[in-house]
Structure 1
């Protein structure tokens, strides 16, 4: 077995990107600024096959970068997804990261309503999502409730990153999101998770930090 000579974080990331670029040859499913987002997702999951199920749009990319550039709030379904958005990247943009599952008294609210904590969190906070970014990497219920409240007329987030993982309603919730009119990124099927959902936002944050301002198409 021959080890790769890359040892520093910078070298490893550059080498990883080069390997991904080589293994997913042109013509790729995504081009321009969408490719760095897709590549970061592949890198996070260590799985080149996911590109076939990734759904990334130029509209979502432009809306997400614009929201981050103006210092939006990123709402995440879990603390794990929030942990994937480092302060060193978010703080210079003035971005606040708020995990919904850490809301005070959430368990009491959920018990009183007779619903899950993820449903209660979205219902309570939905009015605050307008123009912000919502990241869902774990709870299909949160994604489905979000789409329900938006369909009822609640103002939409700038971008929904919906990538819940699992076997119960994960694929179904993402299929519904993919058919929705709201700017979104998703990964169809059972695969997903907090890490890859956060990876999308990190890719957009790097663009915002670099002063890149994609045009909405």
Structure 2
């Protein structure tokens, strides 16, 4: 099997690859108006997506970083709209302070209620989340309906998150949901347009937990 014996393994260590990647991002990203802490999050998002346009389109509430760090260090809970976010988050940095990452999208009671009301599980899972914990961080990367429902609950005074990381991907309602989020006077991290997704939402949350670890 020549394809095995001829294989030349990559000798660069993983941490070196990451460092090289970040250097390349810094070189190619160009001018921006992000603060140093905001750029740490943008950098991770670009690293996860290889999408500079997405990075440049990111928006931050002025209190987003401070509020997110405080929430993590105070052991506040994290709500995720889909399991993929739970799988990708570096949970150790959140759990060490007493927090955890929760997802309710596949819970039996959520599925039954969504069927009864003829609505989406994403909407019902957000409603369940505000009954489970006050404040906390909401990480929404897949379902625009989840973000729109959270926005409705915030406007109604039913939800008071410490931070909303809202970057759902898609064509239907995704850009609009992020536009609405950016109008709220609550700490948020979002982006403009259709791009986004669970991967970049995870990257933003992981970058935030790294900032919390160093704070």
Pairwise same-fold verdict (TM > 0.5): yes
Structure 1: tracts of 5 or more residues without a match: 213-217
Aligned residue number for residue 117 of structure 1: 121
Quick check: 1:87 aligned with 2:104?
no
1-side partners of 2:75 and 2:91: how far apart?
13
Q: Which runs of 5+ in 2 are unaligned?
A: 1-9
**Matches of 2:172 and 2:83, distance apart in 1:** 21
Query: Could you say which residue in structure 2 is the equivalent of 1:14?
Result: 19
What SS is found at the alignment partner of 2:164?
Answer: strand
Contact 2:85 2:199 in 1 (8 A): yes
Aligned partner (choices 160, 169, 176) of residue 173 of structure 2: 169
User: Of 197, 201, 206, which residue of structure 2 is paired with 1:197?
Assistant: 201
> What residue number does 1:60 align with?
64
Partners of 1:62 and 1:129 in 2: how far apart?
A: 20
In the superposition, relative to structure 1, how do residues 57 and 12 fare at CA in structure 2: closer, same or farther (>3 Å)? farther
Q: In the alignment, is residue 44 of structure 1 matched against residue 48 of structure 2?
A: yes
Q: What TM-score does the superposition give when structure 1 sets the normalisation length?
A: 0.89
User: How many residues get paired?
Assistant: 206
Alignment counterpart, residue 103 of structure 1, candidates 107, 112, 115: 107
Q: Secondary structure at the match of 1:33?
A: helix
1:93/1:209 contact within 8 Å kept: no
* Root mean square deviation, CA, Å: 1.6
Counterpart in the other structure of 1:138: 142
Residue in 2 aligned with 1:32?
36
Q: Distance in 1 between matches of 2:97 and 2:187?
A: 21
Q: Distance in 1 between matches of 2:22 and 2:15?
A: 11
Cα separation, 2, equivalents of 1:8 and 1:183: 37
Supply the distance in 2 between the matched residues of 1:94 and 1:74 (Cα, whole angstroms).
Answer: 11
